[in-house]
Structure 1
């Protein structure tokens, strides 16, 4: 089988430039792992076969990159065996030591010029293992994590036999060709027009930075989080249902309201990543398909119900026009105040199937904190059991730890107040 080449997509070129000119490599900010807890008697041969089945099935997992900038190429290599680095956890088991080893792995960069994947498995006990498929973000995204987690279980149960999985309608190169055609043919002109109107005069939200905060490309990431228990989460879902909006819109409105508290600004714009999977052929594709979208609120000081409805309008508009790559819009469309458009970000982690059983094992998908964010100020809301866990990732050289903890605590308080409005 020969090497296949194609131009990198707009999103891949952006990540490449961020990795070379913006990110501090030792933070592993472009690692996008599939991290699993495996409970039960593990068959190492079956797990190795399952991992290699994924690599054979998905071209992205054997795609490397050459060149630079607009000349960046993605090169799909023939399927070669990928080894699993088997490691024993400290004995007796010491959770802090295992967490330190995991953190070190997640923060170690992946050289996509050589391989986009690194596989490690820790044996905690005879019936407890932690598997890390560490991938570079240029070949995967959050949606892809769910695809890989589900298929890993199926392949483990069948010894890596690909015939048990449905045929792949699209590989990532098929998506890349389709995206180039959409852009070059003018098929996205209507969506482009929407964004030009929606973002006319927009101003990026600017959380207050530390005095003397520098302009270095990147810095160490801090993490602050709160937990919203099941009863609060149910109440937020009730608010969404009563207003006929999505939970995403309710959570986004809380972010706008908290940013208004922090900045005093009423007209606020933040970035978000949308899955960009409207084509049925793309649902099972592994790769970086996500597009950045800008979400704008012109009345961040509004009554909660009005703010939630306004956030919903912004989210629905962004979803309907998510195929237009933001990077191809005029570079000065948004007033960023010297920041990047993706410096202030909001995301909601979709709720995939976090647990499953296959081949006598229980699989649990883990969401790690021990990895740097490639954004300067990112609020991500993830499911936690039957509740929610809002997590703030922030640059510690730009934002004070105490202030960041207060910000995320205030966000949680605002969401609780929404349930009583």
Structure 2
């Protein structure tokens, strides 16, 4: 069975993403190929994205449907499907037939009850299964809370979109609504390239010397660990498991305005980012807990799992698709290192990952021969226990939405029954000048007491090193 990507893609360079001819069946990206090979028919909640927008004011639902269809028309990725053919795994761009907007009416005696019902109904609707072969993979629904409150849900299969793209979609939709409400056609900049063009570039660029160079870097970086790295963290209290299906539990820890300001000050003084300081602190805290089951040297070989936007080229800034890639961030240090030294080491780790992010993690695993290829698309209970650190939210302070005149709009969370995968995830938020760190953990692997202890250690370390970054790790713990 021939992969059409290898037969139709011209050579590419690191600096050229250009438009390619459209054909009925086009190549898929390496990330999409991993999903199609290992989890085409697996329906995991983690593979579904649902984003909500709350509108306050007199919303025109008919006009909203027109604007959602405009977004589907503007971005080819939202109209793609992945049929099974004799030619291999392919991407098909669907016809521009519009997007049907499902309409629900929330129930409840009060606005608060109706809003909760709206979110529940939209969540249930968003979690419906997707058919990757036939589509549609982009759906929309709106729930009417009352005449002046509506919640829109844009639901997509993850195979066609990443988090960066979501804000692009919302901005385009609101701009279209503003224009149509004023009797004008939307006046948005033309898109120089679309996702199929990016795929053609990726397939062409990641071959020959470029592929060898990038794989060589990651082969060296991952020597001795898995491409999906084990956190090395265990909770002795959960050695026998919980005996029930795993649930996701969230534990948020606000750092306070003063500590947040101190962390930003430390980042500036060290010539790094808030992400770099918090990442180093997370790894130092992991080192402390890893020492309960391993020696100091092994405990200091710490790797986390994260995501990179992979949007280095200007023509990809407004592109809707799945360009982001997960990455392994490995840093080696000892208890004798000062926190300042750990920050410098970890900053180098992140910088090198950014320099080598053009190769997606799926291709790294395939080239290195990892048996974990496709693990993220299979049964989450079989996933290795890793620490995921989402750092983008610590740095990204997006501008508020620009709603049409007469309406207020803001992003709201659509409840998502997320399936626990790696076991541990830390997300950082900047809110109102302060900072919050949230630990999400699987309750079949970690207890509430262990989670509270880990977050307490992380908070204590940040408070101490913000005052004295020359403190050695073995003097903190």
TM-score by length of 2: 0.78
CA spacing shift, 1:36–1:358, aligned 2, 3 Å: same
Alignment deviations for residues 324-370 of structure 1 (CA, whole Å, 9 cap, x no partner): 22332313499x9x986794321123332243332322221235563
2:136 maps to 1:115: yes
2:164 maps to 1:143: yes
CA spacing shift, 1:405–1:96, aligned 2, 3 Å: farther
Mapped contact 2:327–2:361 kept (Cα < 8 A) = yes
The corresponding residue for 1:5 is 25
Q: In the TM superposition, what is the alpha-carbon distance from 1:5 to its structure 2 partner? A: 2.0
Residue number among 399, 420, 439 corresponding to 1:392 in the alignment:
439
2:363 maps to 1:328: yes
CA spacing shift, 1:309–1:55, aligned 2, 3 Å: same
The corresponding residue for 2:188 is 165
| C-alpha separation in 1, matches of 2:69 and 2:265 | 44
| C-alpha separation in 2, matches of 1:412 and 1:4 | 54
Residue number among 123, 130, 140 corresponding to 2:151 in the alignment:
130
| C-alpha separation in 2, matches of 1:206 and 1:162 | 55
DSSP-derived class of the 2:369 partner? coil
DSSP-derived class of the 1:34 partner? strand
Q: In the TM superposition, what is the alpha-carbon distance from 1:14 to its structure 2 partner? A: 2.8
| C-alpha separation in 2, matches of 1:388 and 1:255 | 15
CA spacing shift, 1:387–1:73, aligned 2, 3 Å: farther
Alignment deviations for residues 151-208 of structure 1 (CA, whole Å, 9 cap, x no partner): 1211111129765111111111000000001112432433333222322234632221
DSSP-derived class of the 2:180 partner? coil
2:83 maps to 1:66: yes
| C-alpha separation in 2, matches of 1:66 and 1:398 | 38
Q: In the TM superposition, what is the alpha-carbon distance from 1:293 to its structure 2 partner? A: 1.7
Residue number among 198, 201, 213 corresponding to 2:221 in the alignment:
198
| C-alpha separation in 1, matches of 2:455 and 2:47 | 24
Cα-Cα RMSD: 3.1
Alignment deviations for residues 207-241 of structure 1 (CA, whole Å, 9 cap, x no partner): 21632459x9x954333322333433222211111
The corresponding residue for 2:472 is none
Mapped contact 2:122–2:142 kept (Cα < 8 A) = no
DSSP-derived class of the 2:207 partner? helix
2:233 maps to 1:207: yes
CA spacing shift, 1:150–1:341, aligned 2, 3 Å: farther
TM-score by length of 1: 0.87
CA spacing shift, 1:403–1:341, aligned 2, 3 Å: closer
The corresponding residue for 1:77 is 94
Residue number among 317, 324, 329 corresponding to 2:352 in the alignment:
317
Quick check: which has more Rg, 1 or 2?
2
Unaligned runs of 5+ in 2: 1-21, 292-298, 376-380, 469-477
